[in-house]
Amino acid sequence: MAMIDDLPIRDDLKGQSPYGAPQIDVPVRLNTNENSYALPDAVVEAVAEAVRAEMRDLNRYPDRDAVGLRTDLARYLGHGVTAANVWAANGSNEIQQQLLQTFGGPGRTALGFGPSYSMYPLLARGTGTRWIGAHRNPDFGLTPDVAVAQLKEHRPDVVFLCSPNNPTGTALDPAVIDAVLGETKGMVLVDEAYFEFARSGTKSALTLLPHHRNLVVTRTMSKAFGFAGGRLGYFAADPDVVGAVQLVRLPYHLSSLTQAAARAALGQAPALLATVDAIKQQRDRIVATLRERGTKVADSDANFVLFEVGGDQKRVWQRMLDRGVLIRDVGLDAWLRVTAGTATETDAFLAAITNRQ
């Protein structure tokens, strides 16, 4: 980064590295929590037809407010949500960036409970928001009293809650979200990127929206929908929050092609979400098998599993890669994360991790 640092960039960016998981061409890629299943032919055809219909009008700007897409997203979410409650952007990262641009910024703070999604502090830095790294319990859990104590200490303007949490995988107890909302007047962002994979009975923060004007629930189509290449994230919140974010959004930020493709995919939701149960079965298989072998594993409500390796995780990661299986080193000493994919991919992972020494 030395050559970049020679440029007149902001002081807080000097010496930093861009975010990015390794993109390595190996037989089994289980490091970025993608949906391993390709889109069904019927979905491919529906998306292609929708995109083709937009082609002749590419000389015109897209619908700046993506009203049709937001209406479809609201219908998918349910819980009484309407288009007025929904905003969409190019992935949930852009959604969270826009929220920080609106409610964070210079002189303001954002807080998250680590270990959690590594993009949160990077988004904070990019928007000039001071990041406060609060902590979870030693078992990676988070209880209301621990969360509230840290909120009282730091009084942040924005709070990030990831549920199910990345990289640990476990959904938050609703009591934690209630406690945080009861303690702060700042914005509370509940990241539900992996909610469709949650175990039965898990409660979405969407149920709390009618009672909290400062609550925002972010979602994505990248994971359960298998739409990672389509880059579509969104949030649900009070209509005034949607109006506030429009103050910072770029004009025409969602292309006509993105909107058309996302709407077509939403119209095929049952076909796309049909893989969720299969992925959850593989997740539970990984958890059960590793625990049977004596490996410590975090409970997972996501499409990935965090497990302890009992030593240098970098060495184990490399040994797995040498065997053609790419998993994720998330920077936790002695822990690694693996995406739950197809049955064949799970076979490959379990075989490789058995012979990692």
Q: Tell me the pLDDT tens digit for each residue of 248-286.
A: 999 999 999 999 999 999 999 999 999 999 999 999 999
Mean pLDDT of the chain: 96
Q: Which domain holds residue 328?
A: 22-37+275-354
| Tally of domains within the chain | 2
Residues in CB range of 22: below 8 A, 6 or more apart: 31, 326
Alpha carbons 286 and 302: distance in angstroms, whole number = 12
Residues 112 and 238 in one domain: yes
Phi, psi of 103 (to 5 degrees): -110, -10
Q: Is residue 26 part of a domain?
A: yes
Q: Is residue 5 part of a domain?
A: no
Distances (CA, A) of 82 to 11, 204, 343: 42, 17, 38
Residues 227 and 295 in one domain: no
Question: Residue 355: is its pLDDT beyond 80?
Answer: no
Residues 186 and 322 in one domain: no
Residues 245 and 260 in one domain: yes
The number of beta carbons lying within 10 Å of the beta carbon of residue 241 is 22
pTM: 0.95
Q: Is residue 240 part of a domain?
A: yes
Q: Is residue 4 part of a domain?
A: no
- Residue 5 pLDDT class (50, 70, 90 cuts): confident
Residues 126 and 214 in one domain: yes
Distances (CA, A) of 296 to 247, 290, 308: 46, 8, 5
> Which pLDDT score, from 0 to 100, does residue 19 have?
83
- What CATH number has the domain bearing residue 26? 3.90.1150.10
> Of the candidates 226, 256, 271, which is a domain's last residue?
271
Residues 242 and 350 in one domain: no
Residues 165-221: tens digit of each pLDDT:
999 999 999 999 999 999 999 999 999 999 999 999 999 999 999 999 999 999 999
Residues 101 and 166 in one domain: yes
Q: Is residue 116 part of a domain?
A: yes
* Cβ atoms of 334 and 341 closer than 8 Å: no
Alpha carbons 205 and 225: distance in angstroms, whole number = 20
| Overall average pLDDT of the 329-351 stretch | 97
Residues 85 and 48 in one domain: yes
Residues 119 and 244 in one domain: yes
Q: Which of 349, 315, 356, 345 is nearest to 35 (CA)?
A: 345
> Which pLDDT score, from 0 to 100, does residue 60 have?
97
* Cβ atoms of 227 and 262 closer than 8 Å: yes
Secondary structure class of 107 (helix, strand, coil)? coil
- Residue 357 pLDDT class (50, 70, 90 cuts): very low
Residue bearing the bigger pLDDT, 15 or 153: 153
DSSP state string for 262-318: HHHHHHTHHHHHTTHHHHHHHHHHHHHHHHHTT--B---SSSEEEEE-SS-HHHHHH
* Cβ atoms of 228 and 265 closer than 8 Å: no
Distances (CA, A) of 356 to 26, 311, 319: 17, 12, 6
Residues 106 and 65 in one domain: yes
Residues 91-145: tens digit of each pLDDT:
999 999 999 999 999 999 999 999 999 999 999 999 999 999 999 999 999 999 9
Q: What is the 3-state secondary structure (H, E, C) of 210-248?
A: HHCCCEEEEEECCCCCCCHHHCCEEEEECHHHHHHHCCC
Mutual angle of helices 313-322 and 343-354, in 10-degree steps: 120
Distances (CA, A) of 55 to 50, 58, 63, 150, 261: 9, 5, 14, 51, 12
Which residue type, as a one-letter code, is found at position 218?
T
Residues 290 and 247 in one domain: no
Residues in CB range of 232: below 8 A, 6 or more apart: 88, 90, 91, 220, 221, 222, 258, 262
| Overall average pLDDT of the 152-157 stretch | 98
> Which pLDDT score, from 0 to 100, does residue 139 have?
92
User: Between β-strands 335-339 and 304-308, what pairing exists: parallel, antiparallel or unpaired?
Assistant: antiparallel
